[in-house]
Amino acid sequence: MEKERKTDRREFLKVTLGAFIGGALFSSCSLSDLKNPKTMVKSPIKTNVLRPPGAVPEEHFAQKCIRCGRCGEVCPYHCIKYFDVKTGGVFSGTPYVDVMEKPCYLCMKCVYVCPTGSLVPCAKEEVRMGVAVINRQICVTWQQDKTGLMCKTCFNVCPFSGVAIKIDHDFRPYIIEENCTGCGICAYSCIADTYPENNGKKAISIQPIKWKKIKQIKLEDIKKS
Amino acid sequence: MARKSFFKRITLWRYLFLTACFITVIGNPFANYYWDVNFIQGWFQSIGIGNLWVVSPLEGLESILTAKFFYMPSLVGMVIPVTLAFLMGRVFCSWMCPVEFLSLLTDKVLGLIPKWGNSLKYRKDLVRFAKYTLWFALVAELMVTMVIGYPMFVWWSPPGLVGRETMFYVFYKHVTVEIFIVIFVLLLNLITRRMFCRYFCPLGAILALIGKRRQLVIEYDASKCVGCKICDKRCPMGISPSVGESQSVYCWNCAECVDVCPTSALNFVWRDRGFITLPKGSKQGSAV
Ligand code: SF4
Ligand code: SF4
Ligand code: SF4
Ligand code: SF4
Ligand code: SF4
């Protein structure tokens, strides 16, 4: 009995040591550091498909998130969805918000349940899921000479209207990128797709921030602290 | 024997507890979706009950290893499962894991089939590996995780998948291909009882590792044993309690042997009278 215990312990030491040495070796040169994100594993985050509020930068998101689904279960609007292995590969199980299907209403419930800090608690104004981009060729107000319409829908629905989205003297909307949260409410509500010549296209899309240089991304600061 | 029927109730409690845990995990997405009850969120990767957060040790560890970033709530969330494993070993596996619930359920359902049902239920194990295969599973899992740079177990862990597939079904009205992992794990049961749990589950391995010096063990009293070996036959983990293996690291404290022993030679005890004592002569303590 006693002998058995001893061999047991030796076996354990071997296994644990093996795990830690191997781990130390491998983690110091793990592929994720070497790889070119574009060729190795492509993030499924793209236009209008964004991480929920408070998400750490995309390079780290799939590493931190433990796919527990708590963010999605707590979201009262059910706007958080999850990639599966077909759509996401190694990103499978991580949350996303498809703003064209359902935008985020910035209730900020999800960020407070994330156990891993993949979603960092932050104020509504600090959310940077992406940034809204208005396609002026499609917006009926920007084309008012042609369409004769003056729509202010996006301005009206934006939770930070007048701050994130403004209206110029011709009532044409434009985005203040530093203040836009990327919640997608404007894109979701845009009425441009009902105008016959637009072939069902919306005038606003939300671009992930990595594609769009924004001077001040407050989340970076939060993550470092 | 009055004593025995008392222990019988313990096994019964295990079934009840397993069922309760299973219902919580399965029912929770329905509560979240249809009745907007958000008190409980998540499943066995991380479950939040009000302000009490529990994070599974292996998934938490993987997240820390790959992101190289410590997040306090996730460390704090790991305290409860680690303490539990430290004191009682793999009780998560035998008392809470939905995979064990489904395995038990399939065992019971198979037992109902009249002709070969009984031979299926407690059949001989067809394939046996060395017990330490479990450690290779853990090491391989951690290696793969660190080489790829993304946590791996988080998306294929069968205990987590049970919750996730239910959530997918409730929220998005479809299930994903990952459900085949759960089915595969259950099919492995037909070859060898609890084959996946015995040899391949990295979560089970890390819990066993933490619970190596656990306090709650099943004690074998040789003077009472009549050598009937019923316990060996009954043990779902393929351990032989009749030669004292029940205190080994591979035992997951399910109490099946305690229940089945006709002479009460097997009993739950708190090792060292419930005090946490370090092994004699060990200088490193129980850090392993
Ligand atoms: S902030 Fe609210 S609405 Fe937006 S994703 Fe999170 S829980 Fe859903
Ligand atoms: S709550 Fe956090 S860890 Fe859990 S799935 Fe959502 S982002 Fe990932
Ligand atoms: S401009 Fe659009 S995306 Fe930006 S905050 Fe306003 S509604 Fe949200
Ligand atoms: S809602 Fe769409 S069409 Fe209307 S002003 Fe805004 S961008 Fe233009
Ligand atoms: S070994 Fe893994 S699958 Fe089996 S009961 Fe334990 S956690 Fe569940």
> What is the DSSP track for A22-57?
HHHHHHHT-HHHHS-TTTS-----BTTEEPPTTBPP
Residue A113 and residue A175 in one domain: no
- Residues whose CB falls within 8 Å of the CB of residue B246, separated by 6 or more in sequence, listed in order: B217, B218, B219, B220, B239, B257, B266
Query: Taking a C-beta distance cutoff of 8 angstroms, is the pair B178, B156 a contact?
Result: yes
Task: Verify whether ligand 1 is closer than 6 Å to residue A110 (CB atom).
Answer: yes
Residue A144 and residue A52 in one domain: no
Domain hosting residue A118, numbered range: 2-126+216-224
Our measurement of the distance from residue A125's CA atom to the centroid of its chain's CA atoms, rounded to an integer in Å, reads: 15
Nearest CA to B256 out of B28, B60, B115, B103 is that of B103
Task: Verify whether ligand 2 is closer than 6 Å to residue A187 (CB atom).
Answer: no
Q: Cβ contacts (< 8 Å) between B43 and chain A: which residues?
A: 68-69
Residue A122 and residue A135 in one domain: no
Burial A43-56 (b: 16+ CB within 10 A, else e): bbbeebbbbbbbbb
Residue A46 and residue A116 in one domain: yes
CA A7 – ligand 5 centroid, Å = 25
Residue A119 and residue A20 in one domain: yes
In chain B, what are the domain boundaries?
Answer: 6-211, 216-270
Nearest CA to B92 out of B66, B59, B63, B65 is that of B59
Residue A16 and residue A103 in one domain: yes
Q: Which atom of ligand 1 is nearest to the CA of A109?
A: 7
Task: Verify whether ligand 2 is closer than 6 Å to residue A70 (CB atom).
Answer: yes
Q: What residues 28-67 of chain B have any CB closer than 8 A to a CB of chain A?
A: 28-29, 32-33, 36, 38, 41-43, 45-48, 53, 55-56, 59-60, 62-63, 65-67
ipTM: 0.78
* Topology of the domain covering B216-270: Alpha-Beta Plaits (3.30.70)
Query: Taking a C-beta distance cutoff of 8 angstroms, is the pair A167, A91 a contact?
Result: no
The C-alpha atoms of residue A48 and residue A64 are separated, in whole angstroms, by: 22
The predicted model scores a pTM of 0.79
For range A199-211, the mean pLDDT: 81
CA A107 – ligand 1 centroid, Å = 5
Q: Does B11 touch chain A (CB under 8 A)?
A: no
Residue A18 and residue A70 in one domain: yes
Subunit contact A11:B38, Cβ cutoff 8 A:
no
Residue A34 and residue A95 in one domain: yes
Tens place of pLDDT per residue across chain B (288 aa): 434 565 556 788 888 888 998 988 888 888 888 887 878 888 888 888 877 888 888 888 888 888 777 777 778 888 888 888 888 888 888 888 889 899 888 888 877 777 665 666 566 677 777 777 888 888 888 888 888 788 888 888 888 888 888 888 888 888 888 888 888 888 888 888 888 888 888 888 888 888 888 878 888 888 888 888 888 888 888 888 888 777 788 888 888 888 888 888 887 777 765 554 444 443 333 333
Residue A118 and residue A135 in one domain: no
Kindly state the DSSP code that residue A161 receives in the 8-state scheme: B
- Residues whose CB falls within 8 Å of the CB of residue A152, separated by 6 or more in sequence, listed in order: A141, A167, A171, A173
A-chain residue closest to B33, CA distance: A73
Q: For B40-68, what is each residue's pLDDT tens digit?
A: 888 888 888 877 888 888 888 888 888 77
How many folded domains does chain A comprise? 2
CATH at residue A169: 3.30.70.20
Residue A215 has pLDDT above 60, yes or no: no
